[in-house]
Amino acid sequence: MNLFEYITTTIDGLLGNKIKSFLTMIGIIIGVANIILVVAVLQGGKALILDEFGGLGANLIYVYSLPDVGMVGYLTEKEIKGMCQIPQIVNITPEVFIDTQIRIGKKEKNISVIGTLPCFKDIERIKILKGRGFLSTDLEFQRKVCIIGDTIAKDLFKTQEAIGKEMRIKGINFKIIGVMQKKRLLGFEKFVGDTFYIPSTTAQRVLGIKEISTALIQVKDTNQINKVISIIKEFLKKRHGGKELFEVQGIDEVISTIKVVTGIIALVIGCIAGISLLVGGIGIMNIMLVSVRERTHEIGIRKAIGAKNKEILIQFLIESCILSLIGGIIGIIIGLLGANIVSLITNLPFLISWQSICLGFGVSFGVGVIFGVYPAKCASALTPVEALRYE
């Protein structure tokens, strides 16, 4: 028999017992689908986060509060003013956060409200698509005005003009003065809804959000980033009695942390997928061993008419590989569909690399070979007399 005959004979045999073949492939399908889905989601999430952070520029420092023995530190206005005195700092925008609901007529939506300064759009490189940004007078008079993202504008107002409309937060009406391009991902606001900016003084004195939990700082020279980080850390440490209640990181450092975290997640979930593949491989080996027993008489007849051990081994090994490869192909298709669904639901980019697809094929083929060798050897080792006597 040549290779083509081996393959066609094997496929005919698998099609003759579809349910058994499918159940044999279940573990491979789940394992490969997991690999494709996880790689796609992680690549999409990482690309989105790095794109958002990368757009902020390398000359930025992010300061955020950390819990310490049940205590959380918050920045004060004095500390913000103190950091402004550091010569290398060009701009600083403190931010106060609250997750709440907004109401427009009968519509309600969960969002993150951020109180900030007029310079936030320059520091974060945010483009105002319609209307205007905040003015110093908006802060001075604690005006109830807001800037919203274009996503929430489309969601709530459809084709209507959002500028001039009013939104209700905590029973207080805010007038929309600007619509901005999509929001960055610092603080992971995208995962809790769209973003809603108001002047920081309005957030603190009208809505009563006193705590300044984060600050974004723009530095003159990127070469001075590490020096400025050290100065800020020492300054805040002294202000809080020697306690380190704040994390101070450059954007590049944040990006590196994100890469490490996504790598660890990929490794952990990859191990889980590996367990599924191991179970699938053991399933294939068991079914192949059963198949050897069921076809012992057939093996005896083939050997009696001149089939060599090598031919028997190749036949069963090809059967194992085809089972595994078909399971791998089905797993890849399911993984791609799953990744597409996740992308549509979460708005993550749908990124599929050829490497992950090749990995799926490679892993499924490898499982077929590794777990098919033993049953194939058992089949090839049978003697014609022993096989023909088997009932």
Look at residue 50 in the predicted model and tell me its pLDDT.
Answer: 63
Q: Which two tokens stand for residue 276?
A: 């599924």
What would the mean pLDDT of 9-18 be, rounded to a whole number? 66
* β-strand partners of 71: 68
pLDDT, tens digit (0-9, with 9 covering 90-100), for 74-89 = 788 888 888 888 888 8
Residues 6+ apart with CB under 8 A from 98: 112, 113, 203, 207, 209
pLDDT score of 51 more than 70? no
Q: Determine the 3-state secondary structure of 46 from DSSP.
A: helix
Look at residue 144 in the predicted model and tell me its pLDDT.
Answer: 92
Among 196, 186, 202, residue whose Cα is nearest residue 55: 186
pLDDT, tens digit (0-9, with 9 covering 90-100), for 302-323 = 777 777 777 777 777 887 788 8
Q: HSE (CB half, 13 Å, CA atoms) of 145?
A: 23
Look at residue 9 in the predicted model and tell me its pLDDT.
Answer: 65
What CA–CA distance (Å, rounded) separates 217 from 230?
A: 13
Q: With bands split at pLDDT 50, 70 and 90, how would you rate the model's confidence at 382? A: low
* β-strand partners of 198: 115
* Type of residue found at 220: K
The answer to whether 225 touches 61, Cβ cutoff 8 Å, is: yes
Among 28, 55, 35, 27, residue whose Cα is nearest residue 353: 35
Q: HSE (CB half, 13 Å, CA atoms) of 324?
A: 31
Contacts made by residues 219-225, CB under 8 angstroms, sequence distance 24+: 219/59, 219/60, 219/61, 219/88, 219/89, 219/90, 220/59, 220/88, 220/89, 220/90, 221/59, 221/88, 222/58, 222/59, 224/88, 225/58, 225/59, 225/61, 225/250, 225/252
Residue that has been written with the tokens 């990006």 in this structure: 255
pLDDT, tens digit (0-9, with 9 covering 90-100), for 208-244 = 777 787 888 888 877 788 888 889 888 888 887 777 7
Look at residue 49 in the predicted model and tell me its pLDDT.
Answer: 67
pLDDT, tens digit (0-9, with 9 covering 90-100), for 163-215 = 988 888 888 889 999 988 765 444 444 433 367 889 988 888 877 777 787 88
Burial class, 15, CB count within 10 angstroms (exposed 0-12 / middle 13-18 / buried 19+): exposed
Give the rounded distance of the alpha carbon of 130 from its chain centre.
31
What CA–CA distance (Å, rounded) separates 121 from 195?
A: 13
What CA–CA distance (Å, rounded) separates 60 from 92?
A: 10
Among 334, 337, 263, residue whose Cα is nearest residue 43: 263
Mean pLDDT of the residues in the chain: 77
